[in-house]
Amino acid sequence: MTQTRFAPDRGLTVRMVLTMFLLGLLYVVFVGVLVALGVQAIVVLVLAGGLLLVQYFLSDKIALFAMHGREVSPQEAPELHGLIDRLSAMGNTPKPRVAIADSDVPNAFATGRDQKHAVVCVTTGLLRRLDPAELEGVIAHELSHVAHRDVAVMTIASFLGIVAGLMTRFALYSGLGRDRGNNNGPPIGLIIMLVSIVVYAISFLLTRALSRYRELSADRAGALLTQRPSALASALVKVSGEMARIPTRDLREAQPFNAFFFAPALSPRRAGQGLATLFATHPPLERRLEQLNLISAQLGRGGV
């Protein structure tokens, strides 16, 4: 596979491998517990596996449909296509498909299972608000997600939490433990519920931690590719500020895609403190700006 010019991130690679290993181990243990309790887990696993394959291979189409995005041709959006053409050439990566979502929420996201099946989507709200240099920084950020292959990892990791819920419903609705309940056996349904909650909680925290780190990695790689970290910082400040002017209803509709957005549609206040950090999909704005300022200083000294 062709080596990209996006700055590699060994820390991101290690975290992706570790996250997938821990999630896989977690679900092996989970299935083992369910089997020991008498659940025909294979039925749920087959169903969940089928859904996972659908999401993995059709993630780009699902995301575009949910965000009301559509692919656009070079004739429809010549400036956007030209920008992505140039950044793809600079990064030595295949050009992704280009899409625009008709939404006033200023944001962008990349999705797709690999570089050859990637799509980069920007909203009309983002295009209206950013100048060319800022838009370049955002697109470079999104292309770095594709180059680092963390989009596919996040798609799989975020889906695995759903498996716990599916298994719990199957176990409860199938009447598991009725016979044992008549013999004063253990409360099987309650045990399954508690185990599922624990599995979901651990999955949730693992994917959130990976999501926060990958955003910092994409900021760094995008800023180094364009050599203009200040433009990306300006875009971050502008997008974050404009979010406050968007109706809450529109932000809540976009919130399920927070983990894939350039900036979160809704984020907890005082995100850098307390438990809010554990639940956030993105690092605090201050942390992202601090990293970009450091990169800018390093570039000024010729140190990067």
Q: Which string of DSSP letters, residue by residue, matches 222-238? A: HHHHHT-HHHHHHHHHH
Residue 142 annotated in active site: yes
Q: Which string of DSSP letters, residue by residue, matches 148-191? A: HTHHHHHHHHHHHHHHHHHHHHHHHHTTTTHHHHHTT---HHHH
- What would the two tokens of residue 117 be? 């099946």
Q: Known binder of ligand: residue 286?
A: no
**Distance from C-alpha of 120 to C-alpha of 129, rounded to nearest angstrom:** 18
- What would the two tokens of residue 100 be? 């625009």
Q: What order of strands is seen across the sheet that includes strand 119-123?
A: 69-71, 97-101, 119-123, 108-111
The gap between the terminal CA atoms of the chain, to the nearest Å, is 25
Q: From 194, 207, 126, select the one nearest 161 (Cα to Cα).
A: 207
Q: From 218, 216, 209, 220, select the one nearest 277 (Cα to Cα).
A: 209
- Residues 23, 206 contacting (CB under 8 angstroms): yes
The bridge status of strand 108-111 relative to strand 97-101 is: unpaired
**Distance from C-alpha of 119 to C-alpha of 167, rounded to nearest angstrom:** 32
Q: Known binder of ligand: residue 242?
A: no
Q: Known binder of ligand: residue 215?
A: yes
Of the listed 76, 134, 136, 142, which one is catalytic?
142
- Residues 143, 88 contacting (CB under 8 angstroms): yes
Enumerate the known binding-site residues for Zn(2+): 141, 145, 215
Q: Which residues are catalytic?
A: 142
